[in-house]
Amino acid sequence: MRKDYHTWDQIMQLAAKLVSHLRREDYDVLLAITRGGMVPACLVSEALDLRNVLTAAVMFYTDVGKTLDEPRFLQFPSDALLIGKRVLIVDDVWDTGKTAVAVRERVRQAGGYPTVAVLHFKPARNRFPGDQPDFYAMETDDWIVYPWDPERLGTR
């Protein structure tokens, strides 16, 4: 799989493009998908001045191209924090879509109204025909290496 190394400047540009499609008044809470979605979620929350930020700790990828059968929820907000709320779910990438779809469904089950926004959408790898993020900044088929990736930080 081809790797595409993104710079901080590219991430800032993609975040700005993503934010340009979003309106602050459409959301009550932002739900960041850990770990990859933490930085994009911070950028989006700052740009939209969304201060109510929650996290969904989800594990799916174990290495480049290696995944679990299903996303594993390590932590998720209580239903009381989501019921009746318009929830902006932010992640770095919609690859197969399994993580975003699982989080979106958990928000719906809690009584929330989810919208999914990601920096990168990979339509060729999407396992949910007819489904995709509500908003995304860029389409790609490459493995994106983000500036915060351990490979880039020299810790892996």
The pLDDT of residue 155 is 64
The pLDDT of residue 62 is 60
pLDDT tens sequence for the chain (156 residues): 789 999 999 999 999 999 999 999 999 999 999 999 999 999 999 999 999 999 999 887 666 556 667 778 999 999 999 999 999 999 999 999 999 999 999 999 999 999 999 999 999 999 999 999 999 999 999 999 999 987 776 665
C-alpha atoms less than 13 angstroms from C-alpha of 129 in its C-beta half-sphere? 0
The pLDDT of residue 67 is 66
The pLDDT of residue 151 is 73
For residue 26 the two structure tokens come to: 């459409």
Listed as own residue / partner, the contacts of 45-50 with beta carbons closer than 8 Å and 24 or more positions apart are 45/90, 47/15, 47/16, 47/19, 48/19, 48/22, 48/24, 48/88, 49/24, 50/24, 50/88
The pLDDT of residue 69 is 73
The pLDDT of residue 59 is 81
Are the CB atoms for 44 and 82 separated by under 8 Å?
Answer: no
Report the alpha-carbon distance of residue 97 to residue 84 in Å, rounded. Answer: 24
Other beta carbons within 10 angstroms of residue 69's beta carbon come to 7
Second CATH level (architecture) for the domain 3-148: 3-Layer(aba) Sandwich (3.40)
Q: What is the pLDDT of residues 52-80, one digit of tens each?
A: 999 999 887 666 556 667 778 999 999 99
